[in-house]
Chains A and B, each alone.
Chain A
Amino acid sequence: MFSKSGPAVPELVDKCIGSRIHIVMKNDKEIVGTLLGFDDFVNMVLEDVTEFEITPEGRRITKLDQILLNGNNITMLIPGGEGPEV
């Protein structure tokens, strides 16, 4: 039987709105940005985004403005994270 559970995942994600968040995707890709919002499917709207491709050289792509990230490929969310060390 399940005992009383803590806050649900959407509630936890909601707490990150306005802060930096580090998102690990399925395919050796990571995104760092400021979380503006999300939906029930955890599609995320971010701004001031840096995109990292995890290769031996640690390639980085910096993008400005806002993005809508498809929640399909998200593996892990790290609130306040700065991303991989490059």
Chain B
Amino acid sequence: MKIMSLRKQTPSDFLKQIIGRPVVVKLNSGVDYRGVLACLDGYMNIAVEQTEEYVNGQLKNKYGDAFLRGNNVLYISTQKRKM
């Protein structure tokens, strides 16, 4: 899923803004990953640090670094309350 030309800048703006922030990434499978967003690209491929993996709301694993392939990503959410 390549984001090439944009009608509104907002998805690519959002992606630039959230690097370095704590995020929640949910995959199509329903598995949840929480960590600090290291980097990502227009395909929604993601690199996350200090990652925790939640399955059915339960913490299952922790990874120092995780790479998530974009085709699996359902959404990327920032965690902290917006100012």
Interface residues of A (CB under 8 A from B): 10, 14, 17, 25, 27, 29, 31, 36-41, 43-45, 47, 49, 63-73
B residues less than 8 Å from A44 (CB atoms): 11
Q: How far is the CA of A83 from the CA of B12 in the complex (A)?
A: 27
Q: Separation in Å of the B10 CB from the closest CB of chain A?
A: 2
Q: How far is the CA of A68 from the CA of B12 in the complex (A)?
A: 10
Bin chain B's interface residue count: 20 to 34
Contact at B8–A66, with CB atoms within 8 Å?
Answer: no
Contact at A65–B82, with CB atoms within 8 Å?
Answer: yes
Contact of B6 among A14, A29, A39 (CB under 8 A): A39
From known contacts A38-B7, A45-B11, infer whether A71 and B1 are also in contact, taking CB-CB under 8 Å.
Answer: yes
Cβ of B50 within 8 Å of any chain A Cβ, yes or no, is no
Instruction: Encode contact with A along B9-29: 1 for CB under 8 Å, 0 otherwise.
Output: 111111100000000100010
Interface residues of B (CB under 8 A from A): 1, 3-15, 24, 28, 44, 71, 73-82
Q: How far is the CA of A67 from the CA of B15 in the complex (A)?
A: 10
Contact of A40 among B4, B28, B71 (CB under 8 A): B4
Contact at B8–A39, with CB atoms within 8 Å?
Answer: yes
Q: How far is the CA of A67 from the CA of B9 in the complex (A)?
A: 15
Contact at B81–A38, with CB atoms within 8 Å?
Answer: no
Q: Separation in Å of the B6 CB from the closest CB of chain A?
A: 5
Nearest A residue to B8, CB-CB: A37
15 further contact pairs, Cβ within 8 A, besides A43-B1, A66-B82, A70-B74: A17-B8, A37-B11, A37-B13, A39-B3, A39-B6, A40-B3, A40-B4, A41-B1, A43-B3, A67-B77, A68-B11, A69-B75, A70-B1, A70-B75, A73-B28
